[in-house]
Structure 1
Amino acid sequence: MISKNKILIAMQISMLAWSGYTFAADRVYVANEGADSVNVLDAASLKTVDKVHVGKMPHNVQVSPDNKTVWVTNLGANGTHSSGSEHMDMSKDTHSEKMDMGKDSHAGKKEHGEVWVINAENDTVISKIPVGAHPAHVVVTPDGKMAYISNSADNTISVIDAEHLKNLTTINVGKFPHGLRVSPDGKEVYIANMKGGSVSVVDTASNKEVSQIPLGKMPAQVGFSPDGKLVFVSLSGEDAVAVIDTATRKVVKKINVGTVPIQLFGTPDGKSMLVTNQGSKSKPGNTINMIDIASLTVAKTITTGDGAHGVVVDKNGKYAYVTNSFANSVSMIDINERKVVNTLPVDNNPNGISWGSVEVTPK
């Protein structure tokens, strides 16, 4: 028989949920490009606790600084879905062919996309904002006032009023902008231009491009050191990471890493920069390189899963989370132990990933 105490507890939980009670929860959000969905994971167990259906081919996801909203780039509700197509064609193995954008789902016919905004409290879509052609990544400024979206097929950046959820302006940048990040002080946005072989620097006060820094082959994403003095850029066509001094806007070093590096994310203590190595479909990469920021050398290589693509670190710097795009899974890394402690499946072709400590309403 069910005890009276258990019945009472169940009734109390139901009453709290009905009354709009919320509780704090650490969540990981995963954009699944092949499933038109976002998996919501419990950060401790990696178990899927919810799933949000979004627009076609969601590539990137970002939790806002206040942890109240989650932003997702996609091709909109009526976008053209290319079954089995990834953001970058990794079917070839030579550097010249490995990332053939002519076959890229974000580089063919210009499909104007959207950024969808999810209420983190109840995992419901609250806004769908039109942006440019084939949006790739989205970031929100530290003050939560603006969001920036890279439109790969337009060679532009869309600027969104994040408070009122409306378009502000469009900025011309380099060729095929992909990954982007806001500087820790919120004053600049660095954008990796994959086909341009450069990084664009946008001033957030004027919303204008103020510099283009030449780098090398296929820059995919950028990552700031916590003090904002260095920017790390994955060069997917060189199997390397370029390091930029933000004061001089000059490349100070290139670091050899794994095959086809994609995303980067720094630990909050400023000691490490994590880099995913995706590889190609025929020869998948399955590692993370931990770069020591002080010495600018690879300190550790960790095996995750096939197609290591997206990476994020929690606010305490205890765990990193990695999307394994070809394995349809997410791995959890203990940063101090420098090893994978859990891997669980998600939906098809996971790409972007983000972490947040959110207020959740029980369902």
Structure 2
Amino acid sequence: MEEITYDRLYREHTLIRVLGIAALAILILVDIACAAPFAYVTNLGDYNQRGYYYNTNYNGTVPTPSVAVIDTATNNVTARVPLGDGWPIGVAVDPAGTRVYVASATIDDACIVYVIDTATNTVNTKVNIRSSYPSGITFNPAGTRVYVTKQRDNTDISVINTATNTLMAPIIVGPSTYNVAFTPDGKKIYAANSHNNTIYVIDAATNKVTANVPVGDSPYEVVVTPDGKKVYVPNYNSSAVSVIDTATDNVTATVPVGDSPRRVTVTSDGNKVYVANNNTVSVIDTATDTVIATVPVGTSSREIVISPDGSKVYLGNFYNNSVTVINTKTNTVMATVPVGEWPMGIAVTPDGKKVYVANAESDNVSVIDTTTNTVTATVNAGIYPTGVVIVPFMDSNMTAQSTKAISNATEDTEVEETNFSSSEEQNAVELNKSKNNNSESDNGNSSGRNESSKNNSTPGFGLLGSLICLYGGWNLKNK
């Protein structure tokens, strides 16, 4: 009989520990990868208060704005998070996916930012901005700060410290600053001001304006390329896009585009910029800063987004009640998908398989299957849904993170957080609802913790079983 030595016991104990930690890391990563994300949709009120806006019978209460939480695996509403009075203008999710921030304009002309815990779907903090009518809300890349821009006569950008959810010193800018964008390293902020036709360059460390860059007439949005070298600014009343060199903060090109450009997005490789005009999309080659294609679409876009793999652009056509799908390789229209009335917010799931479209006038959300480019579900999200974000964010770094976690199995296992920020600027649309819509049934209305799909346990146990079998075979071989 073979003598059982201390060295052998130590080796077996070490292998068991390594395999155990590796199995735990794999189980955690499989759980993260398989769990279905949730769509958070801002609404002006719940369905039981719908009649308030149609001048018909209602339950006697003033509608309460809310956020509907949709399980993307089932397309059911699993929770409704009530907010205070007023109108939810912007919604953003932190890079970790643990909190959703909603900026709301209240009836008494103030602004409240509601902080929703995504584990419990409850508001755990309210931050009073104390100024009227926000225009957008954005996280910095690290997720440590939230920036709230404002319309009308407000002359500052509010800054929230996310560790304490308290206000920091505001950034002093001009009135009607609509949107901000960050360089990928988080060191610079570019803010679009439609009143002064200026882009403010802000030092993110000090929150001080370091430069004023004159651009065209009425800039509303701004986007920074992934390499951080260029900024693209659509000028609504100039029918042109200003290009800013971030090294010098000077305009290096002015690119003519279609009428009334407002929305803009950039591909993940930084090679193309897509600009949503009134009824076309201009495609700009970032190497030459020239328009290489003009794609006909519907009228008056409210949102333009790119799929995670960069292969498709999704554009909501406000007055055509449709979403245009553009192939980024050929810059041609793949499909025009009919959705509800007045599509506004658009978000794509991390796997790129579904697109969620908030239809304001229809009081619902259309779910588009990206394989067939057809609507496969219509979700009764609430009254006048306008904004949507997906929680949590995942990206292609997941594979690298998995490898790292397993290779570090003898040390502390960790999954790195991805630095993604999400922002959404809301357009002011009049609540002039003259028609009466029939009441629609809710797709599910439960409160509390998110319940992800339960079909993700088998892969984890399969991996764990494989590791156990591997150890068993090694043990028999050495007996």
TM over 0.5: yes
Q: Is the 8 A contact 1:137 1:149 kept in 2?
A: yes
Aligned partner of residue 180 in structure 1, secondary structure:
strand
Does 2:233 match 1:233?
A: yes
Number of equivalences: 304
Q: Is the 8 A contact 1:34 1:57 kept in 2?
A: no
Q: Is the 8 A contact 1:37 1:347 kept in 2?
A: no
Distance 1:174 1:218 in 2: 13
Which of residues 79, 86, 109 in structure 2 aligns to 1:56? 86
Higher strand share: 1
Distance 1:250 1:175 in 2: 22
Distance 1:190 1:148 in 2: 12
Aligned twin of 2:134: 135
Distance 1:308 1:32 in 2: 20
Percent of counterpart pairs with the same letter? 31
Aligned twin of 2:115: 117
Q: CA deviation at 1:236?
A: 0.8
Aligned twin of 1:203: 203
Distance 1:53 1:329 in 2: 29
Does 2:307 match 1:296?
A: no
Q: CA deviation at 1:126?
A: 3.8
Q: CA deviation at 1:215?
A: 1.0
Does 2:174 match 1:174?
A: yes
* Aligned alpha-carbon RMSD (Å): 3.4
Structure 1: which amino acid aligns with 2:294?
A: T
Distance 1:34 1:334 in 2: 36
Aligned twin of 2:270: 270
Q: Is the 8 A contact 2:171 2:209 kept in 1?
A: yes
Higher helix share: 2
Does 2:23 match 1:24?
A: no
Which of residues 334, 347, 356 in structure 1 aligns to 2:359? 347
Distance 1:28 1:312 in 2: 15
Aligned partner of residue 238 in structure 1, secondary structure:
coil
Aligned twin of 1:222: 222
Aligned partner of residue 290 in structure 1, secondary structure:
strand
Structure 1: which amino acid aligns with 2:274?
A: L
Does 2:322 match 1:311?
A: no
Residues 90-140 of structure 1 show CA distances to partners (whole Å, capped at 9, x for unaligned) of xxxxxxxxxxxxxxxxxxxxx221223334456544433222321111111
Distance 1:329 1:57 in 2: 24
CA shift in 2, pair 1:351/1:308, >3 Å:
farther
CA shift in 2, pair 1:175/1:32, >3 Å:
same
Listed as ranges, the gaps of 5+ residues in structure 2 are: 1-30, 47-64, 341-357, 362-384, 395-448, 453-479
Q: CA deviation at 1:69?
A: 2.6
- 1:247-262 matches, cutoff 5 A: 247-262=247-262
Listed as ranges, the gaps of 5+ residues in structure 1 are: 1-19, 81-110, 278-284
Residues 318-338 of structure 1 show CA distances to partners (whole Å, capped at 9, x for unaligned) of 444434344566555453454
CA shift in 2, pair 1:199/1:154, >3 Å:
same
Q: Over alpha carbons, which structure has the higher Rg?
A: 2
Distance 2:325 2:118 in 1: 21
Distance 1:143 1:197 in 2: 29
TM-score by length of 2: 0.55
Q: Is the 8 A contact 2:189 2:202 kept in 1?
A: yes
TM-score by length of 1: 0.71
